[in-house]
Amino acid sequence: MTNIQRKNHDRYMLLATVPLIACGTVLYSTRVLLLCAVAMLTAKAVDVAVSMARHEEFDYTDHSSELSAVIFCLMLPVNIPVYIVVVSVLMAVLVGKHFFGGKDVYPFNLAALAMCCAAVNWQDKVFVAVTPFSKVDFWSGYTTGATVTTAGIVKNGGVPAHDTLNLLLGNHPGSMGSDFVLVILVTGLFLIITKKITWHIPVAFLATCTAIALAFPRVYGFPRLESLQLELLNGVVLFTALFMLNEPTTTPTNPKAKIIYGIMAGALGMAFRYFGGFEFGSCFAVLLVNTMDGVIERFASGEDKAAENSKAEKQPEEKPGKKVYQAHPKIKKDTLDIIGEAEDSIDEVLYSTRTISIDEILRAEAELNKSRKDGK
């Protein structure tokens, strides 16, 4: 993906999050805007600080951090304290992006990383849902409408009492923006039609999730289709498929690889949901699949096979009867001291931060030439 394509992708994705932010603002509170703004500002501030520390020119066209910050924010409940958003975004952008080389080379999805960071640190505050239209304090986030998430109810073996329409509209206790199924579907279609994302990963991911949910329903004593509905229409499954799994830096480019990537993400995501300790297993699955991105790409494009074939072609044939045996030097006891000294000097070089000046190199070179001329 070229720079311009990446820039456009980020802008379109940011644009696609606007309807979700708007829905969150209407259903919950204007605090959604505050949290998104704080997350975006933190991400930008980290980018600027790192480029200043590295003495590099700041790239104004890179919006990947802000996009990830907004996506992460939309998965949180509206009553989340601001410092959790700041620390999680800071950790994700600093550690996940800049420690691994920065723009276009980071291996992990930043939004998933931020979510995992928040989930591990503040489990009791992250896995909370807020009832729509309940009062939420703008600054502190205090609310009386805090309750268990729909995904949490299903995880604990219960059955949430929400009808299909409310599940589709996101009119049930949930996160700020990842539960508005219809809006997510429309924005996803918009992104696919405008070719900002491809269909491969979302379709493979959702098909795998559907197959697993149908084969092994979690809600016992419930019709399979209704159980499937509960699985897919809550707990950021659709949001993950369309917004998180399509980040160009961390996903493969080959269509076949994309399908394998989607299937693996779906299977792992469901495994995390079924057997994991957290309700939002998809984020952990995304991180795990990110580590296999390169392998999947090579496997799907057949690069490994091609490399092996070319290696076999290049290898020269062995000539029979002309083997050269290298004599093993006999180690004497006295030589051990010499080896020890050499090891010491290697240690010194390894742990020394002294630089060798050009004068020293030139002098050493002159001495070497002189000794060669003398025939030593």
Partner 1 sequence: MKKPDYSLLYNNWDDTVRRRKVFLSNPVFIKGLALAPLVVAGTTVKNGLILCIAIICLLTPARFATNLITRRMSVPLKTFFYPFVSAIIFAFVYYYMYRFLGSQVLMLGVYLPILIVDPLIVKNFEKTRKEEALYSIINGLRNTAGFAVACLIISALREFLAFGTVAGFKILKAGILPMAQYSFGGFLIIGILCAVWAQLVKNYKYKVEVEALHNERFADNID
Where along the sequence are the contacts to partner 1 (CB under 8 A)?
Answer: 83, 87, 91, 95, 99, 117, 120-122, 336-337, 339-341, 343-344, 348, 351-355
**Residue type at position 248:** P
d(CA 279, CA 264): 19
For residue 347, the minimal CB distance to partner 1 (Å) is 8
Query: Among residues 215 and 350, whose Cβ is nearest to partner 1?
Result: 350
For residue 231, the minimal CB distance to partner 1 (Å) is 29
For residue 336, the minimal CB distance to partner 1 (Å) is 4
Query: Among residues 337 and 374, whose Cβ is nearest to partner 1?
Result: 337
DSSP track, 264-332: HHHHHHHHHHHHSSSS-HHHHHHHHHHHTHHHHHHHHHTHHHHHHHHHHHHSPPPPTT---PPPPPPPP
Query: Among residues 239 and 284, whose Cβ is nearest to partner 1?
Result: 284
For residue 186, the minimal CB distance to partner 1 (Å) is 37
Query: Among residues 3 and 121, whose Cβ is nearest to partner 1?
Result: 121
Length of the chain: 376
Cβ atoms of residues 280 and 119 within 8 Å: yes
Query: Among residues 117 and 219, whose Cβ is nearest to partner 1?
Result: 117
For residue 344, the minimal CB distance to partner 1 (Å) is 7
Query: Among residues 123 and 309, whose Cβ is nearest to partner 1?
Result: 123
For residue 230, the minimal CB distance to partner 1 (Å) is 31
Residue with tokens 């979510």: 115
Query: Among residues 97 and 258, whose Cβ is nearest to partner 1?
Result: 97
Query: Among residues 4 and 349, whose Cβ is nearest to partner 1?
Result: 349
d(CA 94, CA 86): 12
Query: Among residues 304 and 341, whose Cβ is nearest to partner 1?
Result: 341
Nearest Cα to Cα of residue 101 among 131, 56, 35: 56
For residue 51, the minimal CB distance to partner 1 (Å) is 16
d(CA 48, CA 215): 48
Cβ atoms of residues 271 and 228 within 8 Å: no
Distances in Å between the Cα of 52 and the Cα atoms of 41, 57, 92 are 16, 8, 18
For residue 337, the minimal CB distance to partner 1 (Å) is 6
d(CA 256, CA 24): 36
C-alpha 337 chain-centroid distance? 51
DSSP track, 199-266: SHHHHHHHHHHHHHHHHS-SSTTS-HHHHHHHHHSSTTHHHIIIIITT-TTTS-SSHHHHHHHHHHHH
For residue 267, the minimal CB distance to partner 1 (Å) is 24
Radius of gyration of the chain (CA): 28
